[in-house]
Amino acid sequence: MLGPTEHIRDRSRAAEQIIENLRDQIARGALSSGSRLPSEKVIAEHFQVSAPTVREATRALASMGLVESRHGSGTYVTARPSDVVAASLATAAQLGDATVAEIIELLAVLNLRAAELAVHNATEEDLARLATGRDAILAGRTREEILLGVETFLSALAESAHQPLQSMISNFLIRVLVEVELELFPESPTMWREWTGALADVRAEIVEAMRLRDGARLQAAVRDYHGSATTRLDGEAEGSMTMKLSDQRLAGVMAKLISRA
């Protein structure tokens, strides 16, 4: 699996070079998700390094979300593209002092692009999932049920474009917004029903426009949805739009997103 024995070029960077090698194999699929890494002894012999150096490398890969050590069983490749994207974006958003407004604006741009592509690429399954999300929002009895419907609806819109990387980024942004709303907004089901109910017609228009493959109509509906949702979000929680994801009040939210990834 590891190929011919490799010689470490720079002993001071031995662990880093093992990380680079294994990360590359995981990214290329040579070490596929679910597969077990060779034993610590085999890796050490392969790279001609000590066992502690191998452990340092595998710990680093685990922190990157690429592998997982299971007691008594070994170390397994657990990398999923969406998880790697989410963990990386969450960290970058915090380090870059991204605001809630920036997350919403980027999601709007990506959703407009998704709408453009969905006219040609959306399947019947995509349309059904979009309609399921629309209906779940209206049927939700609790804040959590309503927001799960919102997440399903927006995720279905993003994935109807059938652009994997774009969808992964969009789904991360959607998850951020859902978690921020859970953290900052009241739990009152009445408030949530009134808020999301006000956008019911726009969501219905998105579903219908996609069903008809009407690009101009779908773009207009998505633009209207984001404009209305942004106005309501800013009105319900003063200062929420300018809040940075690095804000201490959102520390738990971001930690949850990274650990989930």
CA dist 229 to 32, 239, 259, Å? 40, 15, 28
What is this structure's pTM?
0.81
Domain end call among 34, 51, 79: 79
pLDDT < 70 stretches in the chain: 1-12, 235-238, 259-261
Judgement on whether residues 119 and 192 belong to the same structural domain of the protein: yes
Question: How many Cα atoms occupy the beta-carbon half-sphere of 63 within 13 Å?
Answer: 8
Judgement on whether residues 201 and 125 belong to the same structural domain of the protein: yes
Residue 14 is predicted with a pLDDT of: 87
* Residues 6 or more apart whose Cβ sits within 8 Å of residue 96: none
Residue 2 is predicted with a pLDDT of: 66
Domain span including residue 175: 83-260
Could you give the CA distance from residue 195 to residue 209 in angstroms, rounded to a whole number? 23
Q: How many domains does the chain have?
A: 2
Domain membership of residue 3 (yes or no) is: no
Domain membership of residue 43 (yes or no) is: yes
Judgement on whether residues 211 and 142 belong to the same structural domain of the protein: yes
Domain membership of residue 2 (yes or no) is: no
Q: How buried is residue 206: exposed, middle or buried, by Cβ count under 10 Å (0-12/13-18/19+)?
A: buried
* Residues 6 or more apart whose Cβ sits within 8 Å of residue 105: none
Domain end call among 35, 64, 79: 79
The strand pairing partners of 244, in sequence order, are 99
Judgement on whether residues 152 and 245 belong to the same structural domain of the protein: yes
Q: What is the largest CA-CA distance in the chain?
A: 65
Residue 1 is predicted with a pLDDT of: 60
pLDDT tens-digit readout, 156-189: 999 999 999 999 999 999 999 999 888 888 888 8
